[in-house]
Amino acid sequence: MQQSSSSTALRGRFAPTPSGTMHVGNALAALVAWLQVRSAGGTFILRIEDIDTARSKAHFIEQIVNDLKWLGLDWDEGPDIGGPYAPYVQSKRLELYQEALRILKDKDLLYPCYCSRADILSVSSAPHGLSSEGPVYPGTCRSLGPEERARRAESKQPSLRFKAPGRTMSFVDGIEGPLQMLGDAGGDFVVKRADGMFSYQLAVVVDDALMGITDVLRGADLLDSTPRQLLLYEALGKRPPRFAHIPLLVDEEGRRLAKRSRGLSLSNLRDEGIPAEQVVGWLAYASGLLDKPERVQPAELVGHFSLSRVTSRPIMMTDHMYSLLS
């Protein structure tokens, strides 16, 4: 598996999943990632993560592109303009993920798993059986012998799991600061599902490594994925990027907002006649980049951008915050 040519220049990306319309939470991640790259004079990449073909729809890709352009964001490489590391759509990069699996298999870091989700949930009902990413896999199939694996394979197609070592992974988050997290907090994790679909964890690591991504800025909901991804970078012999996780939008009870909460999709805001500059200003204010909400274009924020200004606290959507956006 070849890696992109090394460079000290910052390379960042926005990598949405086309399973629905973009909402202000997605727009916040896109804006801050774009500002981080543009303020450093780096290269900004748009990549479409459509590996989950059952949920991804082609028409959402077009809508994402239109929404980003409406906000005033541009990119240097992407599915619509190409670039040196094309294709920029995950469903067209499957051979690269398969090559990564071959490397992991040769290092004896994978094993077949025949457990169903129901099996895992039944074990996870015990204390400490859940992690923030879901049920902890107890390692049931890790020590199966060849004969037992062959017997189970007669009735069930296995998934492939990565042997996660039980050690602490340390990294510095660009917003949260120094962090330490267990690499096996959720147990051995799936890198290829029983239905043949490659996992997000594997695909995102392969793509970021091969595209030379130096800085990953994404939502705080993916923070717990970082230790797993660091393990994969290490196993594949690749240098990991720097990570920064921006806060999520939550309701007044602290629950993450659903995609369709109170018309917060960009298409709804645009249909209501709200100017893109107002949305950008609201995003900048909500994240701590502006002291007060005002209409502004993304380019006007570049010269004053600092990741240190981005809040690490969840952004609570009070009635007042809704009123500023409407």
Domain spans in the chain, listed from the N-terminal domain onward: 11-89+247-325, 95-201
| CATH architecture of residue range(s) 11-89+247-325 | 3-Layer(aba) Sandwich (3.40)
Identity at 102, one-letter amino acid code? R
Is residue 1 very low, low, confident or very high in pLDDT (cuts 50, 70, 90)?
low
Six-digit token pair at 38?
Answer: 């543009």
Report the predicted TM-score, pTM, of the whole model to 2 decimal places. 0.92
pLDDT surpasses 60 at 165: yes
Nearest CA among 71, 44, 28 for reference residue 221: 28
pLDDT at site 108: 97
Q: With bands split at pLDDT 50, 70 and 90, how would you rate the model's confidence at 79?
A: very high
Overall average pLDDT of the 273-283 stretch: 97
Instruction: Specify the pLDDT at position 134.
Output: 65
Instruction: State the virtual CA torsion across 174, 175, 177, 178 in degrees, nearest 10.
Output: -60
Instruction: Please compute the mean of the pLDDT values over residues 15-20 and round it to a whole number.
Output: 94
| Identified catalytic residue from 92, 238, 259, 292 | 259
Task: Determine the topology of domain 95-201 in CATH.
Answer: Glutamyl-tRNA Synthetase; domain 3 (3.90.800)
Q: Are 220 and 248 in contact (CB under 8 A)?
A: yes
Neighbours of 175 (CB within 10 A): 20
What is the mean predicted confidence (pLDDT) over 154-177? Answer: 95
Query: Among positive and negative, which fits the CA dihedral 276, 36, 75, 243?
Result: negative
Task: State the SS3 of 135-201.
Answer: ECCCCCCCCCCHHHHHHHHCCCCCEEEECCCCCEEEEEECCCEEEEEECCCCCCEEEECCCCCECHH
The average pLDDT across 246-257 equals 88
Min mean pLDDT across 125-129, 179-183, 223-227 is at: 125-129
259 is catalytic: yes
What average pLDDT does the segment 56-67 reach? 94
